[in-house]
Copies of this chain bind each other. A is one copy, B any other.
Amino acid sequence: MRIVIPLFQGFTALDVVGPYEVLRMLPEAQVVFTAPEAGPVRDGVGVLALSATATPAEVDSCDVLVVPGGPGARTMMRDEAFTAWIRRLHDGTTWTTSVCTGSLILGGAGLLEGLRATTHWGAVETLEAFGATYTPERVVVQGKIVTAAGVSSGIDMALTLFERIAGRTAAEAAQLAIEYDPQPPFDAGSPAKAPHEAMELLLARRR
């Protein structure tokens, strides 16, 4: 069970680590983090670095592909060598998945044409430019392609995938292991639920 998670300059760390902490518990899981050069790769904030353990040239197949998002995804979605590699991996995967704006990279690889898919709520137009139909659900399964909404949704996506691969009880055991019994103190986790003031504050910061 080889799981490949590509890292790139400007990824979002929780997009990577949420699914990782779940999928690493799959039977005989072997997780590989790739980057053009092995070693630390900085996230979108520029503070945290995760280490790549292999280069794309060393990885030509996998069972599960997890493509994270982040500010860097908008560069990577146009990187022809990278998207060609994603496409080659996808040919042999059992599951091809994305978290947050990782779906833009799947889109750039031409994998979402005509499919329903999700992404971070702030990236809907870009996703649709790749021929996908944005679907405002937490996890969208289309054949072997599974896209997840923004950042934290990767945990829900990974548990959904875990059940399909290893069955319900094993997936529940994984949920219990990470004590995933979420109790957010507010109910502002989507544009439909967040107070107007919170959205305004966030958009003002991004301007």
Residues of A within 8 A of B (CB): 12-14, 16-18, 20-21, 24, 31, 33, 39-40, 45, 47-51, 53, 100, 120-121, 138-139, 149-153, 155-156, 159-160, 163, 168-173, 175-186, 188-191, 193-195, 197-199, 201-202, 205
Contacts and interface: CB of A to CB of B under 8 A. Distances in A.
Nearest to A53: B47
Count this chain's copies in the assembly. Answer: 2
Contacts of A17: 13-14, 16-18, 48
Nearest to A42: B51
Q: Residue among A179, A194, A198 with the most chain B CB within 10 A?
A: A179
Contacts of A177: 150-151, 202
Which 9 residue pairs of A and B lie closest in terms of their CB atoms, listed nearest first?
Answer: A150-B179, A181-B189, A172-B188, A172-B198, A182-B182, A49-B51, A151-B178, A17-B17, A14-B21
Given A48-B51, A169-B201, A193-B181, A151 B186 contact: no
Give the secondary structure class of A's interface: mixed
25 contacts: A13-B21, A14-B18, A14-B21, A40-B49, A48-B51, A50-B50, A50-B51, A100-B179, A149-B179, A149-B181, A152-B155, A152-B181, A152-B182, A155-B184, A159-B185, A169-B201, A172-B186, A173-B188, A173-B198, A175-B184, A176-B188, A176-B199, A178-B189, A179-B189, A180-B189
B152 A180 contact: yes
A48 B73 CA distance: 21
